[in-house]
Chains A and B, each alone.
Chain A
Amino acid sequence: MRIKRLHVELATAVTLAAVGALGATGALELGVSWSDSGPMPGYFPFYVGIILIIAAFASATQAIFRMRMGSEEMRETFLEPEQTQRVLSFLLPMVVFVVVTVFLGTYIGTALYLFYVAWRNGGYKPWIAILIGIAFSIALYFVFEKAFQVPLHKGPIEEMLGIY
């Protein structure tokens, strides 16, 4: 089944309303009424959450209304299969990059990520792709750790290599 723009509009609205509800219920625990010193801590987030829920539903209603009025835009496919494939081939390595970075450190993660994308998506020879990855990691090291003295996240392998 093709996912139309209308479906995504509705899904987004429901998600946003859920976020609003989450905020509002979280705020309820803090007290949303008035105390001697003015509004209680939950007051502001509670009402903002309520406004978000209302606005999200209004946005959903508007989308349905426009669909009923015969808007072509709402009937459009949200992402063509080709586009989905392009977005995923970019997004998935990025997710893996984050996981690897969290566990193995920035430099290893970055080098592997650049290597993989240049090799798989860019069609470079593996050894050139590896060189690109390593060169960029080294550049990051010198810019951040040396020039600006900002330490980046490190993992066990960096520790083994004695990079602090």
Chain B
Amino acid sequence: MENFELLMGGFATALTPMHITLMIVGVLLGLIVGVLPGLGAPNGVSLLIPLTFAMDPVSAIILLASMYWGALFGGSTTSILFNIPGEPSSVATTFDGYPMARSGQSTRALTLAFMSAGIGAFVGIVVITLLSSWAARFALRFGAAEYFAVYFLAFCAFIGMGSASPIKTAVSLSLGLLLSTVGMDTVTGSLRLTFGLDALLSGVSFLVVVIGLFGIGELLATVQDGLKFRGVASRIDPRDVFKTMLELPKYITTIIRSSAVGVWMGITPGGPTAASFMSYGLARQWSKPGAKFGTGRPEGIVAPETADHSAGTCAMLPMLALGVPSSATAAVMMGGLMIWGLTPGPMLFSTQPDFVWGLIASMYIANFVGVILVLLTVPFFAALLRIPFAIIGPMIVAICFVGAYTVANSTSDLWLVLIFGVVGFVFNKLEFPLAPLVLAMVLGSKAESSFHQSMIASDGSLGIFFSNYLVGTIMTIALALLIIPQTLKFIQYLKSHKSVDSAA
């Protein structure tokens, strides 16, 4: 009940004309960012952060979070109408969304996607509302060693549970950690790895890196195959919208299963992309017989969309309560929080209740606003993709570079964006995951200082990480996540090898 009162207080903060305007602006910006290739949620949020420096943190986070929800909706729109996923997490939506739209049911496909996304997000926010105080209270028992263990757990979970190759994930993580050590050391105050370059004195900003990796890198990936937008008519027929809404209860089991997957993958660092694929796979396995998946089956839209949005919202829980983001966008937002002078983590709940509960309340409203706005504006946003790429492409590029400049008013950051743009392109082609790199950059200095503090407390003995049940358990889970999936894969490999041998 205590949470309920706090939530009501949050609604009082969120339901001001100013904040509602910010939500609408945020959702609309997010839709643009989600629809346009090369601009995704992580770098959309990165571009917006420098503009929020002057705002108060509650307004700023409401704007950024609303943009995230808008980007999630926008990504599904292009998946369905153009067969181009605007966001990595909406790839699974193309499988059945585009075929359904092509068969002349684009309104039905879009409505299914937006409604299930809205429901998924709602489930995610309810989970946050119920769990956040408890999670924060639990985290108050954490000392430096426990924090390091949690960061370590996050890194290991990426390696063990991520969809990319574990070795390549390890490469991305360590590259991110190394980049985070450039510049002033937060513990000892000494300058590190600047190699005499003035530009590196203040470190490598993760915002600049995100803009390069996700913005320029993704654009280069888009142009390499040439752009062919074979769009489907995007007019929305209100009668079809209502008909489709009445259809939704039929998919209740799919919705429940998919939101459970989404909630789980959102809280653990699986992230929305993995959640949407997993949920699609499960829906295909468990579905009743009927039309084949991949030909425009409704469950094939409902499942990934529900999971995508519930994971996207749930990713905010570990970020707020523990200071460990579980998706690239949440990592960027957490970086923003630190720039505004807030410390994400359990103390946030006691020192800044307005901020936390204002944000949670705004998530209810913004997602509701999002569903309505997206239904109203889909034809307009779909038209954006009909602008020739020779015009919209350079505009996106210019916005990315301008955004990177505003981070620190430094022209050397423009070169960094260019370098990381090429890095992002190559990493994309070679299937190195980008999210772990961003996460490592944001968490790097925190992981290092908690490691440092634990080492001081223990006089340099690593035993401190197994000195009590709490930290020991977290460390054990982390190591298990690191080792068990690899061992299983190895055993499987040996088995398949043996059977081949015996067959021969």
Q: Please list the residues of chain A having a beta carbon within 8 angstroms of any beta carbon in chain B.
A: 5, 8-9, 12, 16, 19-20, 22-23, 26-27, 30, 34, 37-42, 44-45, 48-49, 51-52, 55-56, 58-59, 62, 78-79, 83, 86-87, 90-91, 93-95, 97-98, 101-102, 106, 110, 113-114, 117-118, 121-124, 132, 136, 140, 144, 148-153
Contact = CB atoms under 8 A, between A and B. Distances in A.
Interface of B: 50-51, 54, 165, 167-168, 170-171, 174-175, 177-178, 181, 185, 187-188, 190, 192-193, 195, 216, 219-220, 223-226, 388-391, 393-395, 397-398, 401-402, 405-406, 409, 411, 414-415, 418, 421-422, 425-426, 429-430, 432, 448, 451-452, 455-456, 460
Contacts of A121: 390
A48 B225 CA distance: 36
A19 to B, nearest CB: 7
B175 to A, nearest CB: 6
Contacts of A118: 390-391, 394
A113 B371 CA distance: 37
Contact of A38 (B51, B395, B455): B455
A44 B181 contact: yes
B224 to A, nearest CB: 4
A26 B194 CA distance: 8
Given A39-B452, A136-B398, 9 more contacts: A39-B451, A39-B460, A41-B187, A55-B167, A91-B220, A94-B418, A106-B401, A117-B391, A140-B402
B411 A56 contact: no
B177 A48 contact: yes
Contacts of A150: 50-51, 406
A44 B220 contact: no
A23 B220 CA distance: 28
Contacts of A55: 167, 170-171, 174
Contacts of B220: 87, 90-91
A51 B163 CA distance: 21
A98 B397 CA distance: 10
A95 B402 CA distance: 14
B451 A44 contact: yes
The 6 closest A-B pairs by CB, nearest first: A122-B390, A52-B174, A45-B181, A55-B170, A38-B456, A26-B193
Given A55-B171, A101-B401, A136-B395, A86 B418 contact: no
29 contacts: A5-B429, A8-B429, A9-B430, A16-B175, A22-B195, A23-B178, A23-B193, A26-B195, A30-B192, A39-B455, A44-B451, A45-B192, A48-B174, A48-B177, A48-B178, A48-B181, A79-B224, A83-B225, A86-B223, A90-B220, A97-B397, A98-B401, A98-B415, A106-B405, A113-B397, A121-B390, A124-B390, A144-B402, A151-B409
A118 B391 CA distance: 6
Contacts of B219: 90
B156 to A, nearest CB: 13
Nearest to B406: A150
Contact of A62 (B165, B177, B397, B460): B165
B178 A59 contact: no
B460 A34 contact: yes
Contacts of A16: 171, 175
Given A5-B430, A8-B426, A48-B174, A98 B418 contact: yes
A108 to B, nearest CB: 12
B398 A30 contact: no
A8 B426 CA distance: 8
A113 B188 CA distance: 44
Contacts of B188: 37, 40-41
Given A8-B429, A37-B456, A114-B398, A132 B195 contact: no
A51 B429 contact: no
A145 B415 CA distance: 23
Contacts of B422: 91
Given A48-B181, A90-B220, A97-B401, A27 B168 contact: no
Nearest to B427: A12
B57 to A, nearest CB: 17
Given A94-B216, A152-B405, A153-B411, A42 B398 contact: no
Contacts of B187: 41
B429 A38 contact: no
A12 B430 contact: yes
Given A8-B429, A27-B192, A90-B393, A56 B401 contact: no
A106 B411 CA distance: 10
B181 A59 contact: no
A39 B288 CA distance: 59
Most buried by A among B185, B195, B395, B456: B395
